[in-house]
Amino acid sequence: MAAGADSAASGTGVRPPGLPVPPRAARLLVLFAVFVCAACGLVYELALVALGSYLLGDTIVQASVVLSVMVFAMGIGSLASKRLTDRPAFWFAVIEGALSVVGGLSVLALYAAFAWFSLYQPALVLLAAAIGALIGAEIPLLMALIQRIRRQEAADAAADMFAADYVGGLLGGLAFPFALLPVFGLLKGTLLVGAVNAVVGVLVVLWLFRGSLSPRGRLLPAVGLAVVLAVLAASFALADRFEVSARQALYRDPIVHAQRSEYQEIVVTRSLSGSDTRLFLNGDLQFSSLDEYRYHESLVHPAMNGPHGDVLVLGGGDGLAVRELLGYADVGSVTLVDLDPAVTRLARTMPEIRALNGNALADDRVRVVHADAFSWLRENRRRFDVVLVDMPDPDDAATAKLYSTEFYTLARHALAEGGRMAVQAGSPYFAPEAFWSIGAGLRSAGWATAPYNVDVPSFGNWGFFLAVPKGRGEPEVALPEEHPPLRFLDAATLRAAQTFPKDRRPTGTGPSTLLRPRILDYERGAWEGY
């Protein structure tokens, strides 16, 4: 009878002892805290995945490690929090404060571990486990808090809790790419989320359940919240300086330009003597001004040994391959398809790069298209005499599709009668399985191929495939009879380039496809020990 009367009183809005607001409002405040904390938790998770993809390139592996470790740790945290349900308000405030610090500083700590200590993977696992355990500890404590406001069936309470949790996850998942990253960047965005997590998670509970807390139980979380916010604020204020220092630690030469575009991190370095300018995308070297001509001459000129009035360049937003093409007076048009407008803008405006490419992208014969090359080829109906594939190495899922049988099939449909295609294929010495897999992918897409390799000191041994549609015989790797003056290639060099040593001849690897991206497996095993 008394229990029934208490339940009825709660349902009519009578405040239980110690609550500053009616039960309905109190429940909404707790569910609001669940909503915000869930959004913050998902942002921490996405931030760890994003940083791994920026620094290491392998999004699938990074996502798998983060998700599996965090889910496991959530279970451990949920079990451990059963011991804390006797004082749920106090311990929830403590856990939210700890989560705010660990999650908010996670990107900063991981970047430092990568830049200065080469401990990225251990730090990633440790942080994912800590964040997961703290997130897992939230739900049992929040359930206890809701039940203290008004007793209800466990199923009903769980339904309310998880509804708020999942909707909060939706908010965090959408806010991360569309608001936090564009406006604040990865480092500052995560710090800001940590502060929001601390304020909402701690203050709501401290204010709402202050009547059930001892003076010490109110003081300690309040002081902890002040310390957490001070640490996060100081980190936010110093974030730009930290990022510059950490980024510089990754590169040998001084950084003269750095930006994060919508797609990637772009860094340009210049040696102290001024003799070597280098472009890096997501930490991977794209060219060195000391020897880039070796790479670009090798990619471009063998493909020009035939009709070459209309040329398609897939990738190559730095304009260096276009520079080689424009040396032919009979080239009528060049279509450059590159995903990132920030790269082509740099090629047009940065004096060092514009001097290297001879201001090629400003030539009237050049048309620049900013699009995903795979999607662009699917819509393309034009035919080209020469196709050049100058893509970054396939070290993540986004670039792996550009080395697939399906991609090479689309490229074949873009080739005019009598045309030729050249593909940069990585290093046959450092990554032989990946190199020969690219050849297998070309052949499975209906191409006849001729591999060749040259030495580019900043890259090492580097390889290419010259390809023509099957039925025309094997393509001849040779220079056109009339070609512009070259610094590296000649007939003898190209003949030698077609010879591969015994330990780097075809390995029998299979082609990479959209559904079976073997190239990622081959790339992961490459470069070990170098």
Q: Is 62 annotated as ligand-binding? A: no
Question: Mind giving me the DSSP string for 97-158?
Answer: HHHHHHHHTHHHHHHHIIIIIS-HHHHHHHHHHHHHHHHHHHHHHHHHHHHHHS---HHHHH
Please give the single-letter amino acid code of residue 307: P
Containing 417, the helix (H) or strand (E) segment is strand 415-424
264 is in an annotated binding site: yes
Task: Evaluate whether 405 touches 444 at the Cβ level (below 8 Å).
Answer: yes
Q: 337-341: long-range contacts (C-beta < 8 A, 24 or more apart)?
A: 337/312, 337/313, 337/369, 337/371, 337/373, 337/376, 338/368, 338/369, 338/370, 338/373, 339/263, 339/370, 339/371, 339/372, 339/373, 340/261, 340/262, 340/263, 340/264, 340/266, 340/370, 341/261, 341/370
Strands lying side by side in the sheet with 284-288: 255-260, 265-270, 277-281, 284-288
Cα distance between residue 137 and residue 78, in whole Å: 4
Residue with token string 């190559």: 316
Question: Can you read off the two tokens belonging to residue 79?
Answer: 């079990």
Strands lying side by side in the sheet with 333-338? 366-370, 333-338, 310-315, 384-390, 415-424, 460-469, 447-456
CA atoms within 13 A on the CB side of 34: 26
Is position 58 annotated in a ligand binding site?
no
Among candidate residues 24, 133, 121, the one with its CA nearest the CA of residue 78: 133
DSSP-derived 3-state class of residue 380: coil
Angle between helices 23-56 and 59-80 (to 10 degrees): 150
- Quickly count: other Cβ atoms within 10 Å of residue 140's Cβ: 21
Cα separation, 378 vs 372, in Å, equals 10
Total length of the chain: 530
Pseudo-torsion of CA 297, 300, 304, 309, nearest 10°? Answer: -120
Q: CA-to-CA distance for 143 and 149, rounded, in angstroms?
A: 10
Distances in Å between the Cα of 286 and the Cα atoms of 196, 368, 427 are 39, 19, 13
Between the alpha carbon of residue 251 and those of residues 108, 244, 256, 276, 386, the distances in Å are 18, 11, 11, 13, 36
363 catalytic per annotation: no
372 annotated binding-site participant: yes
Q: Is position 318 annotated in a ligand binding site? A: yes
Q: Determine the Cα–Cα distance for residues 425 and 30; give it in Å rounded to an integer.
A: 56
Q: Is 113 annotated as a binding residue?
A: no
Point out the catalytic residue in the list 58, 390, 395, 396: 390
What is the rounded CA–CA span in Å between residue 286 and residue 306?
A: 28
Running DSSP on this structure, what letter comes out for residue 273?
A: T
Binding residues for S-methyl-5'-thioadenosine are: 264, 338, 372-373
Q: Which residues are catalytic?
A: 390
Binding site membership: which residues? 264, 296, 318, 338, 372-373
**Binding site feature residues for spermidine:** 296, 318
